[in-house]
Amino acid sequence: MYSFPAWRRASFIALLIIIFVIAYAPATAQGTATVRLAALASPSNVSHMYVSLSSIQVHREGFLNWTTISRTFPTVDLLSTSTGSTPQTIISTSVHSGRYDSIKLFFTNSTVSINGQNQAVAPPNPITANMTLLVAPNGIGKPDENMCIIGKNQLTDLIKTYKCIHPFDYSLLDGDGYILTVKDERTLHYLEHQNLISHEVVFTPPNYVAHLTAKSKYGRMGLSFLNAAKVHSGYVGRLALELVNLSNERQPITIRRGDPLIHIEFVKREGEASPYNGNYMFQFMSEEEISDYVGILTREFKTVFHKDDLLKAAKQRVALAPQPSA
pLDDT band at 117 (very low <50, low <70, confident <90, very high): confident
Q: Mark out the alpha helices in the chain (DSSP H runs).
A: 5-9, 152-162, 216-221, 287-300, 307-315
**Tell me, which fold does domain 152-315 have in CATH?**
Deoxyuridine 5'-Triphosphate Nucleotidohydrolase; Chain A (2.70.40)
Query: Is the pLDDT score of 19 beyond 60?
Result: no
Task: List the domain boundaries for the chain.
Answer: 5-135, 152-315
Q: Are strands 260-268 and 193-203 parallel, antiparallel or unpaired?
A: unpaired
Question: Going by C-beta distance under 8 Å and a sequence separation of 6 or more, which residues neighbour residue 64?
Answer: 154, 157, 158, 161
**Is the torsion defined by CA of 121, 123, 124, 129 positive or negative?**
positive
User: Reduced to 3 states, what is the DSSP secondary structure of residue 7?
Assistant: helix
Q: What is the mean pLDDT of the chain?
A: 79
Which segment of 70-74, 239-243, 269-273, 283-287 scores lowest on mean pLDDT? 70-74
pLDDT band at 73 (very low <50, low <70, confident <90, very high): confident
Give dist(CA 297, CA 294) in Å, integer: 5
pLDDT computed for residue 16 by the predictor:
44
Model pTM greater than 0.85?
Answer: no
Percent of the chain with pLDDT over 90: 37
**What is the three-state SS of 141-196?**
CCCCCCCCECCHHHHHHHHHHHCCEECCCHHHEECCEEEEEECCCEEECCCCEEEE
User: Reduced to 3 states, what is the DSSP secondary structure of residue 131?
Assistant: strand
Give dist(CA 321, CA 198) in Å, integer: 10
What residues form DSSP beta bridges with 306? none
- Residue 265 contacts residue 211 (beta carbons within 8 Å): yes
pLDDT computed for residue 321 by the predictor:
56
pLDDT computed for residue 187 by the predictor:
96
Higher pLDDT, 108 or 206: 206
pLDDT band at 78 (very low <50, low <70, confident <90, very high): confident
Query: Is the pLDDT score of 227 beyond 70?
Result: no
Higher pLDDT, 118 or 308: 308
Percent of the chain with pLDDT over 70: 74
pLDDT computed for residue 253 by the predictor:
95
Query: Is the pLDDT score of 51 beyond 80?
Result: yes
- Residue 88 contacts residue 38 (beta carbons within 8 Å): yes
pLDDT band at 59 (very low <50, low <70, confident <90, very high): confident
pLDDT band at 143 (very low <50, low <70, confident <90, very high): very low
* Residues 284-317: tens digit of each pLDDT: 999 999 999 999 999 989 889 999 999 999 999 9
Which segment of 6-15, 188-197, 228-237 scores lowest on mean pLDDT? 6-15
